[in-house]
C-alpha cells in the first residue's frame, strides 16, 4: 500500500481536495482489455500496468493513482461494442426514444463524442430525422449488427475546441469520461465549446461505481478506466464545471449512471446530489478489498474443484468482466475458451491470458459442463442461446 506521506501529495481530479484513502490495488494488469489479438503470443505479451484506487472523502471520487497515460498509446484493433446483444439493443432503443421525446429531438443536430461504431447515435437519428456528427479516432461506421442509414458524419479524431462549430442540440458521450485522467479539464473544454447555446443538452453515461462496490464487480475495475464515478462525484464534477443537472439516475440493471445536463451561467456549489450518499459510499469502500479477496479465493477453490472432476468450463463474455476474471483468478488458466457473440472478437485471443475467443456455435460440439456468465444482466439471453445449441451445462453467474 501507499504510505501516508505519498498519499498526502495526491489530489482528487474532481474536487482537487487531498483528503484521500488508498484502498485497493491490483498488479500487472493488461493496460488494454479490448484489443483484437490475432495470436496467443500477442495476447499474453501486451503491456501491463498497476491499479491503485484512492477514495476522496470530500466528493466520493475514486481514481487510479497509479495510472500512467504513457502506457496507453493510440492503437488500432480496439473493439468493445455491446450492440450485438439483443438485450442491450433493447436498452439502447428505449434510451434513444426517451431522449428524443424528452428533449423534442426532431430534425436536430446531435454530437457524439467517442462514438465507436455509432450505435446509439444511429438510433437517435434514424427515426426522428436528426443529423449526427461522430468523433472517435477509431470510428468505423456500419460495424454494428445493422446498417447505419442515418445522415451521420464520422470524424476520426478526438473532439476538441478545434471542432467547436460541430456542437449539436444534444451532445452524447457514453463510456468515455471514465477514460480521462483529467475529467475536469475535459468538461471545462466541452462547456467552453457549448458557449451560449443555452438549449444544448448533454447526455453522459459512465459505469456506476456504487454498483461495482456493492457487487464486488472487479470486472469493471481495469487499467483503461482511471476515473470511477458515483452519484456524488459525478454531480459535483458537472456542477463545478458549469452545468446544471437535469437528471441523474442508474440504468441497465444499476450498472451505469446516466446524467442529463445543460449549460449553466456559472459553476455552482455542491448540491444535495453531490453530498448525499457519501457516508454510505465510504462504508462500501472500507469493506471492498476484503470482500474482493474473499470472492476470488472462493472462485479459485471452485474452479480447482471443477477441474479436478474433469469438468469442461467456458467463460461467456469477452468484455471487461470476462477478461478481468481470467486475468485475476489464478485457476482460470484451466479454462481454454471464452465465448462472445461479437463476430469481431471471434477467433481472437484474450489479452493477458491468451484464451481463444469462440462463437456460441462452438459449444454445440464442445459441450461444456459449466458456463460462467460474466454479466448477470445477460443470463436469460445466454440461456436462450444454450437451449438453441442443445447445451445442457450448469450456468453460473460470477
Question: Please, what are the domains in the chain?
Answer: 4-71 (no CATH), 86-280 (3.40.50.150), 310-397 (3.40.50.720)
- 206: Cα separation from own chain's centroid: 6
Strand partners, 318: none
**Kind of pairing, strands 48-56 and 62-64?**
antiparallel
**What is the pLDDT, as a whole number, of residue 73?**
67
Intervals of the chain under pLDDT 70: 1-8, 73-80, 139-149, 272, 274
Q: Whose CA is closest to 125, among 97, 159, 157?
A: 97
* Cell representation of residue 328: 485475476
Strand partners, 56: 20
| Contact yes or no for 23/191 (Cβ under 8 A) | no
Q: What is the pTM of this model?
A: 0.90
**What is the pLDDT, as a whole number, of residue 141?**
46
* Cell representation of residue 8: 498526502
Q: Whose CA is closest to 233, among 178, 189, 283?
A: 178
**What is the pLDDT, as a whole number, of residue 6?**
57
| Contact yes or no for 315/324 (Cβ under 8 A) | no
b (16+ CB within 10 A) / e for 261-272:
bbbbeeebeeee
**What is the pLDDT, as a whole number, of residue 8?**
61
* Cell representation of residue 62: 475514486
- 392: Cα separation from own chain's centroid: 31
Amino acid at each position: 500500500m501507499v504510505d501516508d506521506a505519498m498519499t498526502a501529495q495526491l489530489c482528487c481530479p474532481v474536487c482537487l481536495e487531498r483528503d484521500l484513502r488508498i484502498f485497493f490495488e491490483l498488479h500487472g494488469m493488461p493496460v488494454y482489455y479490448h484489443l483484437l489479438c490475432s495470436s496467443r503470443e500477442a495476447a499474453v505479451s501486451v503491456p501491463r500496468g498497476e491499479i491503485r484506487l484512492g477514495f476522496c472523502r470530500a466528493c466520493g471520487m475514486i481514481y487510479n493513482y497509479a495510472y500512467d497515460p504513457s502506457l496507453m498509446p493510440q492503437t488500432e484493433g480496439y473493439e468493445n461494442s455491446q450492440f450485438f446483444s439483443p438485450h442491450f439493443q433493447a436498452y439502447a432503443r428505449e434510451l434513444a426514444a426517451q431522449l428524443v421525446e424528452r428533449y423534442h429531438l426532431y430534425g436536430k443536430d446531435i454530437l457524439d463524442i467517442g462514438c465507436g461504431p455509432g450505435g446509439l447515435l444511429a438510433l437517435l437519428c434514424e427515426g426522428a430525422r436528426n443529423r449526427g456528427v461522430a468523433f472517435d479516432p477509431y470510428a468505423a461506421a456500419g460495424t454494428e449488427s445493422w446498417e447505419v442509414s442515418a445522415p451521420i458524419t464520422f470524424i476520426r479524431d478526438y473532439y476538441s475546441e478545434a471542432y467547436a462549430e460541430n456542437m449539436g442540440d444534444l451532445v452524447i458521450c457514453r463510456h468515455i469520461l471514465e477514460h480521462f485522467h483529467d475529467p475536469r479539464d475535459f468538461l471545462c473544454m466541452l462547456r467552453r465549446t457549448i458557449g451560449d447555446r443555452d438549449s444544448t443538452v448533454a447526455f453522459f453515461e459512465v459505469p456506476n461505481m456504487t454498483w461495482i462496490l456493492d457487487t464486488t464487480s472487479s470486472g469493471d475495475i481495469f487499467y483503461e478506466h482511471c476515473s470511477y464515478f458515483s452519484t456524488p462525484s459525478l454531480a459535483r464534477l458537472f456542477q463545478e464545471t458549469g452545468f446544471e443537472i437535469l437528471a441523474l439516475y442508474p440504468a441497465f440493471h444499476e450498472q451505469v449512471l446516466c446524467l442529463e445536463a445543460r449549460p449553466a451561467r456559472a459553476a455552482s456549489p455542491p448540491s444535495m446530489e453531490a453530498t448525499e450518499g457519501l457516508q454510505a459510499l465510504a462504508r462500501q469502500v472500507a469493506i471492498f478489498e476484503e470482500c474482493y479477496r474473499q470472492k476470488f479465493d472462493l472462485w479459485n477453490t471452485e474452479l480447482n474443484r471443477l477441474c479436478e472432476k474433469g469438468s469442461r468450463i467456458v467463460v461467456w463474455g469477452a468484455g471487461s468482466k470476462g477478461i478481468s476474471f481470467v486475468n485475476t483468478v489464478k485457476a482460470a488458466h484451466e479454462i481454454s475458451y471464452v465465448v462472445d457473440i461479437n463476430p469481431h472478437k471471434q477467433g481472437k485471443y484474450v489479452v493477458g491470458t491468451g484464451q481463444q475467443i469462440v462463437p456460441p456455435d462452438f459449444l454445440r460440439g464442445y459441450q461444456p459442463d459449466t458456463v460462467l456468465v460474466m454479466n448477470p444482466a445477460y443470463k436469460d439471453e445466454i440461456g436462450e442461446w444454450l437451449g438453441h445449441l442443445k447445451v445442457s451445462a450448469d450456468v453460473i453467474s460470477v
